[in-house]
Amino acid sequence: MTQLDSIAARLKAVGQDHLLRFHDSLSPGQRDDLLGQIAALDLDAIRDLVQRYVTGNPKINLPARVEPAPYYPADPDSPPRPWDRAEARRRGERLLGEGKVAAFTVAGGQGTRLGFDGPKGCFAAGAVTDKPLFQIFAEQILATSRRYGAGLPWFIMTSPLNHDQTVAFFREHAFFGLDESGVSFFRQGVMPSFEIATGRILLADRHRLATNPDGHGGSITALYKSGALDQMRARGVEHICYFQVDNPLVRIADPVFLGLHAGAEDSSAQMSSKMLPKARPDERVGVFCLGDGRLCMIEYSDLPEDLQQQRLDDGSLRFKAGNPAIHILSVAFVHRLNTDPSSALPFHRALKKVPYVELESGKRIEPDEPNVVKLERFVFDALPLADRSIVLETDRVQEFAPIKNATGVDSAETSRALQTERAARWLESVGVRVPRTPDGRPDCVLEISPLTALEAEDLRGATLPTAIGPGGRVAL
C-alpha cells in the first residue's frame, strides 16, 4: 500500500476522504503540501470532534452553585482580606533576580479590525511616540531585566499567518535593544474548519485545508509542542507571565503578583490571575466565579442576567471580577496540562463564514451565512484544573488599555486616553502639575516609557518638568 493509499484509507474511515478530491489534478508540490497538511491532523480525534461539537451542539452547563470569586484587593489593607504587599513583593523580586520568570505574549492576531495591515503587535500604540506594541513590551522587559540583574526571557506566540512578518519586524528593529537570544518565537496551532451541515473539513483551495487558529487556550499546547517549555526549563524558569498583545499598559512581570502566586497560603502556585472590577453589569468581559467551590471563569454571555445584575449593600456589583487576560502559570502546570489526559482543555464551538472550494465544480464560494464550526480552546479553562488558584485585583487605569477596535470602546483613542491618565497620576504623585479639564481629564497627552519608570515610585528623584502645559504632548 502506497502512502497515498494509506492516507486515503484513514480519511475514509473518519468520513473525510473528500479532501483528496482534487489530488490527481495538482502539481507535485501542491500534492506534497496537501498530504503534509492531512498528515498533521489528529485523524483519530476527528470523528469524536465532529460528533461532539459539529453535528452535535453541546450546551454550556453552568455549575450547580455559582458564587463570586474571592480575590486579593488592590489595597492590601482593605477588608475583608488584608494581605502583606511588601512580603509578596520581596518574594516576587527574589524570583525575578534568580531568573525563574519568563514573559509570554499571545500575539497571533492581525490588525485587520484596526484598519492596519500587519501583525497587531506592530500597531502604533504609544500615546505620544506611536511606538508599536512590541516595542513598548520590549522596553518593559529590558527595564525589568536591568532592575533585577537577570534576563527576563520573552516567548512570543505568533500565528501561521503573521509569524514571518513578526520575526522580520523584530530583526528590522534590532530586537528593540534586547538580546536576540532571549527572544523566542513559535507558531500557534490551528484546527480544521468543519462544515456545519456535514461535519466535513472544508478546502480553502484545491490543495489547502480550511483552518482557523485554535484559540488562546491553544497556547498551552503550543508551548509544549514547540519546545518552548523545554527552553524555559533549560533556563531555570519556573513561572510564566501570560498576557495578550493588545494591552500596552500590562505590567508584564509584576513582582507583587508573582509573590502572591508563588507564596500565598491559598495558592498552589500553578495558575493565578488578575481581575478588574467590571465597569457595568453588561460589560463584555468574562467573570471570575466559584463554580461548585472551584475557581472558574464564566463568559459574560453565559452568566445569567440575574447574577450579572446582583449588587451588594454598598451598591457595587456582586459578580464584579472581570477578566483582563493577565495570568501566571507554572512551567510544571503547563507540562501537566499537556501530558495528563484528564487535564486536557475543552473545545468551544463558534459559527463563522469561511470561503471554500466547492467539491463538485472546484469553484471558490464566498458564503453569505455562517457555514463552518470553528473549534478553539480558552486558556482560562485551566483555572479549575489548578489545585488552588488565586485572583489579585488591579486597577483599570494602571493596567488595562486594550486596543481591539478601530473606534469606540477599546480603541487606540481610548487606549491613549488611559495611557495619559496613568502617566498623569504617576507624575502628580511625585509633585508634577498636570493640567486637567473641568471634568477631570488630563488636558494634555502623556507617555512614560518603561525605561523611564515601571511604576510611579520610579519617578522619584528623576529629572522631570515641574508642570505640564495645557495641550502639551510629552513623552518621558
Q: pLDDT digit string (tens) for 145-199?
A: 999 999 999 999 999 999 999 999 999 999 999 999 999 999 999 999 999 989 9
Report the SS3 class of residue 175. helix
With pLDDT > 70 as the criterion, what percentage of the chain qualifies? 100
Q: What domains sit in the chain, N to C, each tagged with a CATH number?
A: 3-40 (no CATH), 66-403 (3.90.550.10), 411-476 (no CATH)
Q: Is the pLDDT of residue 81 over 90?
A: no
- The C-alpha atoms of residue 405 and residue 423 are separated, in whole angstroms, by 23
Contact assessment for residue 175 and residue 349, using Cβ atoms and an 8 Å cutoff: no
The residue among 284 and 251 whose pLDDT is bigger is 251
Local structure of 273: helix, strand or coil? strand
pLDDT tens, residue by residue, 363-391: 999 999 999 999 999 999 999 999 999 99
The Cα 183–Cα 193 span in angstroms is 32
Name the pLDDT band for 1 (thresholds 50, 70, 90). low
59-65: long-range pairs with CB below 8 Å, 24+: 60/302, 62/291, 62/298, 62/302, 62/304, 63/289, 63/291, 63/292, 63/296, 64/292, 65/290, 65/291, 65/292, 65/293
